């Protein structure tokens, strides 16, 4: 292992499905940074990194990559990235996070890359394209490159021609925060985009031949706009027909500006079962599209809502109906088990011993302090953001 203290810059966030991807930071923070439901970049200035900065990071990643490969030879693994080698990298007290990230990426074949931060398409297209070309020149094994992008930026500032150039340079997928398709709600949460922006942006990405993943925040309409949120969001998604629809469930932290509206009573937070009813209404109104729905986040109560439209639509609705057919006690057992990381799907309730233990824990908690189970569930949810 090299004596050099090699590092490169890594941003704070990525989609859950990019857990094993290389994270390369093209921009820092968020250029909008006003959304009420997001606390991540508050107080931080948006910066577009120069091509020289990005290339320097790519060079550092390559040097780290070569160091790890050399370590494999020294340890007798013939250059292969084995479980034992990755464990050695993670166990070393002299190794930094950059090495750990690259080791994991190498273990999974050096194939996937996620471009950070919140809206890297806000940078000049030429810089984005040149940086991406250099990355793929250094690592020709890369076959998938994804990034976050804002609808407003895509709709107003990025041409289809430049999106096509980015695709040709290697960009394969964009993750876009749709959040909602209801204009009054978008204005209320200070999203900085309209339903028209969402639709135009989505159509441009699709026209450019880039995969599109749209994120929807369940519960964002609160108790006031839950129905409009569900119906208008479904309508916008029907007009875009994205490759992926990803559900995320709202959890309001004290550090989020939206929490102030909770305190004043201006925003009324729906409970988990209200959110499921909203989700059902939304899914019920998705028509004429072939999107793949993903519930790939621990905040979602029913992770098994995962599959392709329209073939799996009935299965999604049946899953939600199955939850509501459970007794009140069974629903609480499932919710507690899900939020504790014990359950992943409703079928897990079939483990009678685990259900018995959860039921026993719930009863003991409630006997000591009524309402403590709901408090515990709320605290557990905070840990997942």
Say whether pLDDT at 383 is over 90.
Answer: no
Q: What percent of the chain has pLDDT over 70?
A: 99
Give Cβ neighbours of residue 340 (< 8 Å, ≥ 6 apart): 358, 380
Residues 306-353: tens digit of each pLDDT? 999 999 999 999 999 999 999 999 999 999 999 999 999 999 999 999
The owner of tokens 């519960």 is 219
Query: With bands split at pLDDT 50, 70 and 90, how would you rate the model's confidence at 3?
Result: very low
95-126 burial, b at 16+ Cβ within 10 Å, e below that, comes to: beebbbbbbbbbbeebebbbbbbbbbbbbebe
The packing angle between helices 313-325 and 272-284, to 10°, is: 150
Residues 179-223: tens digit of each pLDDT? 999 999 999 999 999 999 999 999 999 999 999 999 999 999 999
Which candidate, 330, 329, 328, places its Cα nearest to that of 347?
330
The Cα–Cα gap between 236 and 182 comes to: 9
The owner of tokens 């809206």 is 119
Residues 274-318: tens digit of each pLDDT? 999 999 999 999 999 999 999 988 899 999 999 999 999 999 999
How is residue 81 written in tokens? 């990235």
Which H or E run includes 273?
Answer: helix 272-284
The Cα–Cα gap between 20 and 132 comes to: 19
Residues 51-65: tens digit of each pLDDT? 999 999 999 999 999
Half-sphere exposure of 65 (CA within 13 A, CB side): 16
The residue ranges of every structural domain in the chain are 16-325, 326-385
Residue 235: the pLDDT is 99
The Cα–Cα gap between 57 and 330 comes to: 51
Report yes or no: 199 and 240 within 8 Å, Cβ to Cβ: yes
What is the overall mean pLDDT for the chain? Answer: 95
Q: What percent of the chain has pLDDT over 90?
A: 92
* DSSP class of 294: E
3-state secondary structure of 177: strand
Residue 4: the pLDDT is 52
249-279 burial, b at 16+ Cβ within 10 Å, e below that, comes to: bbbbeeebbbbebeeeeebebbebebbbebb
Residues 156-181: tens digit of each pLDDT? 999 999 999 999 999 999 999 999 99
Query: With bands split at pLDDT 50, 70 and 90, how would you rate the model's confidence at 80?
Result: very high
Say whether pLDDT at 1 is over 70.
Answer: no
The Cα–Cα gap between 334 and 352 comes to: 12
Residue 175 β-bridge partners: 148, 213
Residue 92: the pLDDT is 83
Fold of 16-325: pyruvate-formate lyase- activating enzyme (3.80.30)
The owner of tokens 């890369």 is 142
The owner of tokens 């810089």 is 127
The owner of tokens 């004290």 is 254
The Cα–Cα gap between 301 and 304 comes to: 9
* DSSP class of 260: H
Residues 98-114: tens digit of each pLDDT? 999 999 999 999 999 99
Which candidate, 250, 255, 301, places its Cα nearest to that of 280?
301
């Amino acid at each position: 292992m090299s004596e050099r203290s090699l590092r490169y810059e890594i941003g704070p966030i990525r989609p859950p499905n990019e857990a094993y991807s290389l994270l390369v930071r093209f921009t820092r923070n968020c250029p909008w940074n006003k959304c009420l439901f997001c606390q991540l970049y508050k107080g931080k200035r948006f910066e577009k990194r120069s091509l020289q900065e990005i290339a320097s990071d790519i060079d550092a990643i390559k040097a780290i990559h070569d160091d790890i490969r050399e370590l494999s030879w020294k340890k007798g693994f013939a250059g292969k990235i084995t479980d034992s080698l990755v464990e050695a990298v993670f166990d070393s007290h002299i190794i930094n996070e950059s090495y750990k990230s690259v080791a994991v990426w190498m273990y999974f074949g050096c194939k996937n890359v996620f471009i950070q931060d919140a809206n890297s398409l806000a940078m000049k297209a030429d810089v984005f394209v040149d940086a991406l070309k250099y990355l793929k020149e250094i690592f020709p094994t890369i076959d998938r490159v994804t990034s976050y992008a804002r609808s407003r930026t895509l709709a107003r500032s990025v041409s289809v021609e430049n999106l096509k150039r980015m695709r040709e340079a290697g960009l394969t997928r964009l993750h876009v925060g749709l959040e909602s398709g209801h204009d009054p709600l978008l204005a209320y949460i200070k999203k900085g985009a309209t339903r028209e922006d969402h639709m135009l942006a989505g159509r441009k990405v699709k026209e450019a031949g880039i995969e599109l993943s749209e994120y929807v925040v369940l519960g964002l309409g609160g108790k006031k706009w839950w129905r409009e949120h569900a119906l208008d969001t479904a309508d916008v998604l029907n007009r875009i027909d994205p490759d992926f629809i990803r559900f995320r469930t709202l959890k309001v932290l004290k550090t989020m500006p939206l929490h102030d509206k909770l305190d004043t009573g201006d925003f009324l937070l729906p409970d988990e079962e209200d959110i499921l009813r909203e989700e059902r209404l939304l899914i019920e109104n998705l028509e004429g599209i072939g999107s793949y729905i993903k519930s790939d986040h621990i905040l979602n109560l029913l992770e098994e809502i995962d599959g392709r439209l329209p073939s799996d639509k009935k299965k999604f609705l049946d899953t939600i109906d199955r939850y509501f057919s459970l007794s009140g006690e069974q629903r609480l057992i499932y919710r507690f088990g899900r939020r504790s990381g014990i359950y992943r799907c409703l079928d897990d309730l079939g483990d009678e011993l685990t259900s018995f233990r959860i039921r026993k824990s719930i009863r003991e908690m409630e006997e000591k302090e009524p309402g403590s189970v709901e408090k515990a569930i709320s605290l557990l949810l905070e840990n997942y953001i």
